[in-house]
Amino acid sequence: SNSCVALLDIMNIDKSLIDYLEKKFPDQCPDINDAEKVVWFKSGQSSVVKHLKVLLEDSQKNILDKKLIQGDK
């Protein structure tokens, strides 16, 4: 939606930031030795990265849709 695009612009979130965050907070199976709190904490980190990635993908899709619509005029 337009609010996603605006939010990403305001926060300067782009693909390079998402790539960095995916490397820093990977979505991976927990270590068997991790305490339960650590497992939930790491899960939350990767969940935020996934959410930002979806926002970025949605904003790019909206931009493409807008260009296609405007191109028809």
43, 61, 51: which is closest to 18 by C-alpha?
51
Contacts of the segment 22-27: beta carbons below 8 A, 24+ positions apart: 22/49, 22/53, 25/49
pLDDT at 71: 65
pLDDT at 48: 94
CA separation for the pair 68, 55 (Å, rounded): 20
pLDDT of the chain along its 73 residues, tens only?
Answer: 556 666 666 677 889 999 999 999 999 999 999 999 999 999 999 999 999 998 888 887 876 666 666 665 5
CA separation for the pair 55, 10 (Å, rounded): 13
pLDDT at 65: 64
